[in-house]
């Protein structure tokens, strides 16, 4: 469930991505499947969504609750956890989704809802996602 307010188009994209991933997760059988195969189209949609959410936060920095948006970005990757225990693997862990050895899912880990980051930091994180997206 989305806990921040986004423009309607982004909220619809959020819901659509979650539904598409849920279909993949439901096909995953932890007893016979090692991992969920990478669906590049879905991964691209996830990255594009994150970039749009960052763009929205940057454009509305003075109007939004920045710590809430930072927390959303930091924990968004939790939507893509799966595995035998339900949370021991991340769909975003594929090697091709890393940048200089840093996995895609870790790009927002520096964001902390207790310390408001400047717009410059959000732009740096956005750049990382854009660099990975350029490979698709």
Instruction: Please state the rounded mean pLDDT for residues 105-120.
Output: 85
The average confidence (pLDDT) of the chain is 86
Model confidence band, residue 1 (pLDDT cutoffs 50, 70, 90): low
pTM (predicted TM-score): 0.88
State residue 52's pLDDT score: 97
Q: Is the dihedral of CA 16, 19, 23, 25 positive or negative?
A: positive
**100 — alpha (psi -120 to 50), left (phi > 0) or beta?**
left
What is the DSSP secondary structure assignment for residue 1, as one 8-state letter?
Answer: -
Of the two residues 97 and 62, the one the predictor is more confident about is 62
- Buried (b) or exposed (e) across 97-132, using 16+ Cβ within 10 A? bbeeeebbbbbbeebebeeebeeeebeebbebbeeb
- On the question of pLDDT at 92 being above 80, the answer is no
Q: What is the DSSP string of 4-15?
A: S---HHHHHHHH
């Amino acid at each position: 469930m989305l806990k921040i307010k986004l423009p309607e188009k982004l909220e619809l994209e959020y819901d659509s991505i979650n539904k598409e991933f849920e279909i993949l997760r439901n096909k995953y059988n932890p007893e016979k499947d090692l991992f969920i195969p990478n669906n590049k189209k879905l991964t691209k949609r996830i990255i594009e969504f994150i970039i749009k959410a960052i763009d929205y936060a940057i454009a509305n920095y003075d109007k939004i609750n920045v710590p809430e948006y930072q927390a959303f970005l930091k924990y968004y990757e939790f939507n893509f956890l799966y595995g035998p225990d339900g949370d021991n693997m991340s769909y975003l862990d594929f090697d091709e989704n890393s940048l200089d050895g840093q996995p895609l899912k870790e790009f927002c880990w520096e964001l902390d809802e207790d310390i408001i980051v400047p717009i410059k930091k959000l732009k740096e994180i956005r750049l990382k996602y854009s660099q990975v997206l350029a490979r698709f």
